[in-house]
């Protein structure tokens, strides 16, 4: 057996293939079966006079998605998708598929999501998920090369990362437990052990969001760096994002073509990225007619207005304290604000990173926990990190699906994860 991606090396030879029937076209005395084996597509040509009766009869049972084996000679032909085809001498059906629900035509999103377990086989879905896999690999490679240690953080947690009310609650032997909505507090704990660390895994938000940018279960990478300030944090972010984009362009050119992605703007992505202070951003928005007031978080339309002005991702940094989480460090130059940044992707894809320098002063951190009325006891271990050798440190979280949606140019982040969990969707 050979793999379809290697057919070019076997021209003139007789080879065996095994795979799933993607499409068939029959003309009475000649038939075309397009086979998919996970590495590519191969058009298999059957001529009635040249194959045995058994094989000709077999091809009639080769319905869409049936598993078949094929033996035949490889030849180059411009009429074949991929440039090579198989002149079939023998074909056998190993598993005949029932009538396949997903046809080569348009379907509604709801129907496709109901059939997500089958939809994965479609060409654009294959391409998108392959880009996702490449992005994930790029994330690990970049961080590994820079000396980060991967820390796997718990999914079942007792303490709360950010704001309550958006957590999935579960029973833990009679005690309340929550599905993690961030691994950040734990990577902060690992930071004094290894200096540079990151976690990578699923996170859970019970937000009742129904937009193309939200999932209830999504994957996030969260690097954390000891002795890095907010400025270094942003420099790491722009290097990181640029590397991920470059790797995708380099190794997923074929997939991006299948997805009809215009890559010209992605090719511009390299550091430095433009930076806009929150206070400047509000002024800019007011000039443009927005009704935003200083102190409020930026709305989705505000973000769109700001990113329209740039080809590159845009940092908006130093937001008001009131709009951000308790663990962010107060900005010494303007104590109304904290040292943090959001990275907004271009072309309307929105926030792909949220990052900050962390509050390393014990008293101020405890004060913020009280202000936010968070359960102080649950954070005692987190406060310990400020008792036993506190240190300046910064980190950020990058959303994998949003990043992949931007790189692939897909409208919906729900296509960027194999089995999306949405507010109204727990199956398949």
Partner RNA sequence: UCCGGGGUAGCUCAGUUGGUUAGAGCAUCUGACUGUUAAUCAGAGGGUCGUGGGUUCGAGUCCCACCCCCGGAGCCA
393-422: contacts with RNA (CB under 7 A)? 397-399, 401-402, 412-413, 422
Q: Which of 98, 106, 175, 333 binds RNA (CB under 7 A)?
A: 106
Measured from the CB atom, is 64 or 125 closer to RNA?
64
Stretch that binds RNA, among 7-15, 253-261, 352-360, 369-377 (CB under 7 A): 352-360
The string over 68-83, giving b where at least 16 C-beta atoms fall within 10 Å of a residue's C-beta and e elsewhere, is: bbbbbebbeeeebeee
Q: How far is the CB of 213 from RNA (least distance, A)?
A: 6
Measured from the CB atom, is 250 or 257 closer to RNA?
257
Q: How far is the CB of 413 from RNA (least distance, A)?
A: 6
Q: Which of 13, 14, 29, 156 binds RNA (CB under 7 A)?
A: 29
235-294: contacts with RNA (CB under 7 A)? none
Pairing of strands 196-204, 149-150: parallel
Measured from the CB atom, is 32 or 278 closer to RNA?
32
Distance CA 4, CA 41 (A): 6
108-137: contacts with RNA (CB under 7 A)? 108-111, 113
Q: How far is the CB of 421 from RNA (least distance, A)?
A: 10
Q: How far is the CB of 182 from RNA (least distance, A)?
A: 7
Measured from the CB atom, is 220 or 385 closer to RNA?
220
103 near RNA, rule: CB under 7 A: yes
Q: Which of 36, 59, 132, 213 binds RNA (CB under 7 A)?
A: 213
75-94: contacts with RNA (CB under 7 A)? 77, 79-81, 85, 87
**Residues 78, 79, 84: CA angle, nearest 5 degrees:** 60
Q: Give me the count of residues in the chain.
A: 428
Measured from the CB atom, is 76 or 268 closer to RNA?
76
Q: How far is the CB of 173 from RNA (least distance, A)?
A: 29
Q: Which of 145, 171, 210, 293 binds RNA (CB under 7 A)?
A: 210
Q: Which of 129, 180, 220, 269 binds RNA (CB under 7 A)?
A: 220
The string over 25-45, giving b where at least 16 C-beta atoms fall within 10 Å of a residue's C-beta and e elsewhere, is: eeeeeebbbbbbbeebbbbbb
Q: For residue 249, give the nearest of 226, 270, 273, 223 by alpha carbon.
A: 270
Measured from the CB atom, is 49 or 373 closer to RNA?
49
26 near RNA, rule: CB under 7 A: yes
373 near RNA, rule: CB under 7 A: no
Q: Do the Cβ atoms of 275 and 233 come closer than 8 Å?
A: no
Strand order in the sheet with 340-345: 149-150, 196-204, 217-226, 393-399, 350-357, 340-345, 314-317, 275-277
293-322: contacts with RNA (CB under 7 A)? 296-297, 299-301, 303
354 near RNA, rule: CB under 7 A: yes
42-61: contacts with RNA (CB under 7 A)? 43, 45, 47-49
163 near RNA, rule: CB under 7 A: yes
Measured from the CB atom, is 175 or 291 closer to RNA?
291
Measured from the CB atom, is 182 or 242 closer to RNA?
182
| Angle between the N-to-C axes of helices 230-251 and 400-408, in degrees from 0 to 180, rounded to the nearest 10 | 50
Q: How far is the CB of 282 from RNA (least distance, A)?
A: 14
Measured from the CB atom, is 29 or 370 closer to RNA?
29
Total site size for RNA, rule CB under 7 A: 73
Stretch that binds RNA, among 19-27, 170-178, 234-242, 260-268 (CB under 7 A): 19-27
């Amino acid at each position: 057996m050979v793999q379809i991606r290697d057919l070019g090396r076997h021209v003139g030879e007789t080879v065996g293939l095994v795979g799933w029937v993607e499409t068939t076209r029959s003309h009475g005395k000649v038939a075309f079966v397009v086979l998919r084996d996970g590495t590519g597509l191969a058009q298999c040509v059957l001529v009635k006079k040249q194959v045995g009766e058994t094989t000709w009869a077999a091809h009639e049972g080769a319905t869409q998605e049936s598993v078949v084996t094929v033996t035949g000679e490889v030849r180059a032909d411009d009429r074949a998708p991929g440039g090579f085809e198989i002149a079939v001498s023998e074909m056998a059906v190993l598993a005949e598929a029932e009538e396949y629900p997903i046809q080569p035509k348009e379907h509604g999103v709801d129907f496709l999501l109901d059939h997500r377990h089958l939809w994965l086989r479609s060409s654009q879905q294959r391409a998108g998920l392959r880009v996702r896999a490449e992005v994930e690999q790029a994330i690990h490679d970049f961080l590994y090369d820079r000396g980060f240690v991967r820390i796997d953080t718990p999914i079942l947690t007792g303490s709360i990362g950010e704001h309550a009310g958006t957590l999935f609650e579960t029973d833990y032997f009679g005690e309340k437990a929550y599905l993690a909505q961030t691994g950040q507090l734990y990577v902060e704990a690992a930071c004094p052990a290894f200096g540079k660390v990151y976690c990578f895994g699923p996170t859970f938000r019970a937000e009742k969001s129904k937009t193309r940018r939200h999932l209830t279960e999504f994957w996030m990478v969260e690097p954390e760096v000891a002795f890095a300030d907010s400025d270094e944090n942003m420099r790491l972010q722009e290097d990181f994002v640029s590397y991920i984009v470059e790797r995708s362009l380099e190794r997923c050119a074929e997939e991006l073509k299948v997805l009809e992605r215009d890559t010209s703007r992605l090719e511009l992505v390299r550091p430095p990225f433009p930076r806009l202070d929150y206070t400047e951003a509000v002024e800019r928005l007011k000039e443009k007619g927005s009704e935003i007031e200083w102190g409020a978080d930026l709305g989705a339309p505000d973000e769109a207005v700001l990113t329209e002005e740039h080809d590159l991702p845009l940092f908006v940094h130093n937001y008001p304290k009131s709009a951000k989480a308790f663990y962010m460090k107060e900005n010494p130059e303007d104590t109304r604000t904290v040292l943090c940044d959001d990275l907004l992707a271009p072309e309307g894809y929105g926030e792909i990173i949220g990052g900050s320098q962390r509050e390393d002063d014990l008293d101020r951190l405890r004060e913020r926990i009280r202000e936010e009325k968070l359960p102080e006891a649950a954070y005692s271990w987190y406060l310990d990190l400020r008792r036993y050798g506190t240190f300046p440190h910064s980190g950020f979280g990058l959303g994998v699906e949003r990043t992949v949606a931007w790189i692939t140019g897909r409208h919906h982040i729900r296509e960027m994860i194999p089995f999306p969990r949405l507010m109204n969707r727990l199956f398949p």
